[in-house]
Amino acid sequence: MKLQTKLALFNLSSKLVFSALFIGFLPLIIERINTLQTDRELIDKREEVISLISEIGLEPFITSESETGFGSYNILKEEFISLERIDLEEDWNFIEVATRIVDEETIDYRVLNYSIKIDGQTYLLEIGKSLSSIRYAAKNIRTVILLFLAFFIAVTLITDLTYTSRILRPLRIITRRLGTTSSPSLADLSPVVTTTKDFRQLDQTLRELMMRIEELFRKEKEITVNISHELMTPVSVLRSKLENMLMKKDLDPEIETGIDESLRTLHRLKSLINSLLMIARLESRQYLREDEVSLEELITEIIGELSPIAADAGVRITTDCPGTFIFGKANRSLLFSMLYNVVNNAIKHTPPEGSIHVRGEKTDEKYIVTITDTGRGMTEKQLEVIFSRFRTKLDPDSDSTGIGLAITKSIADFHGIEIKVKSQPGKGTEFSFIFP
């Protein structure tokens, strides 16, 4: 899972947990707030009534029909005010929930009870607000809060995703550079622009590491080239001397056999040196890519050269390359060696009466060359090191240097060609070359 996804999930889960806790306590919070607000309104209204009585007296409140009290309910019976003369031994000043019967309808109110003394008489002032209206107001408040909470979560989630995406952009750039770089020499070593100190340090460390690796690669290539050049001269001298010795008359047969074996060894050594030189030049990009290569013609030429060898080995080669595909900016001789190595290996490792099929097809603006054989195949362990140098010799008794497929991979990388390999022991192997 990507870091950005993990951060987004963490932010979302933390917000959901917080929201769940908040929603769980929301009814209690709203009830408490609404109760306090209602009590505040009742107290304010009490002060208004007391002030009004002080200004105009009791007469407007006490009618001729009822000289002991006064009561008034609004149209919807949501609120009421009552003033009643009573006998009390102590002062009243409290708020409670009480039930009133209004027009034969039982209604629950939150009621403020307050006693006042006017002209030596004690009056009980009651101001009430229906619980249904209080609950209705609470419901509206709860709806508004939940809508705001949902909006807040959505906005913060989008903000978090945008911010994390922006803050992790340097990491994506670094990862992309590492994933798309096939060689340290081709790596983009320009500093990544970021204000995050950790990412700057990571980028700096990786750039320094890439430069050290490139320096080691450069030294390795120099050593390989120098050693190869130094070895070519004595190998050529030895070969000439041994060939001259074979030309002598009356040469002892045992000595002649030893010279032949030595010449074969020198031939393998020379092939190995040439292969190492080729890999070093490929990795340092010393070859030119100026050719436009018809892959159909190239395959036909390779099959033409290898058909006699396959016939001698009892192996049948078939081709199927419809259409035409021109691969530009290429080195024809290198591409020839790349495909030649694989087909030649297939011949060597395919038993008599076996077959090799070379197919070329164009798909999605790419061209795929597939080489399939019915040979001995390879195990999963062998497939893991198939392109490693000196580790791909399937037949220990052969004269192979174990470096042919490494050259094939280097040539493919040099041209930006992708290689896929599928194989099963006893069933054969399939190489696919995907040309861009």
pLDDT of residue 136: 80
Query: Would you tell me the crossing angle of helices 169-180 and 197-246 to the nearest 10 degrees?
Result: 0
Query: How many other CB atoms are there within 10 angstroms of residue 169's CB atom?
Result: 16
Q: How is residue 428 written in tokens?
A: 């054969």
* Residue-range domains of the chain with CATH: 3-162 (no CATH), 181-286 (1.10.287), 291-435 (3.30.565.10)
Q: How far is CA 309 from the centre of its chain?
A: 49
Q: What b/e sequence results for 219-255 when a residue is b if at least 16 CB atoms lie within 10 Å of its CB, and e otherwise? A: eebeebbeebeebeeebeeebeeeeeeeeeeeeeeee
Residue 324 in contact with residue 294, Cβ under 8 Å? yes
For the question of whether the overall pTM of this predicted structure is more than 0.85, the answer is no
In the sheet with 316-320, reading across from the earlier edge strand, the strands are: 316-320, 355-363, 366-373, 428-435, 418-424
The 8-class DSSP code of residue 289 comes to -
Q: How far is CA 292 from the centre of its chain?
A: 38
Pairing of strands 366-373, 418-424: unpaired
Terminal CA-CA length for the chain: 30
Residue with tokens 């027009």: 103
pLDDT of residue 371: 93
C-alpha 149/C-alpha 142 separation (Å) is 10
pLDDT, one tens digit per residue, over 186-232 is 666 777 777 777 777 887 888 788 778 777 777 766 766 666 667 77
Q: Mean pLDDT of successive 10-residue segments in the chain (436 residues)? A: 71 79 78 85 88 78 54 72 82 88 82 86 86 81 83 82 79 74 65 77 81 75 68 78 79 81 79 72 74 89 90 91 83 89 90 91 85 90 80 51 79 89 91 91
Residue 68 in contact with residue 118, Cβ under 8 Å? no
C-alpha 100/C-alpha 147 separation (Å) is 35
DSSP 43-64: HHHHHHHHHHHHHH-STTTS-S
Q: What b/e sequence results for 145-165 when a residue is b if at least 16 CB atoms lie within 10 Å of its CB, and e otherwise? A: eeeebeeebeeeeeebbeebe
pLDDT of residue 64: 41
pLDDT, one tens digit per residue, over 66-103 is 555 566 766 677 888 888 888 877 889 999 888 888 77
Residue with tokens 């900016």: 329
C-alpha 283/C-alpha 216 separation (Å) is 13
| Phi/psi of residue 82, nearest 5 degrees | -135, 145
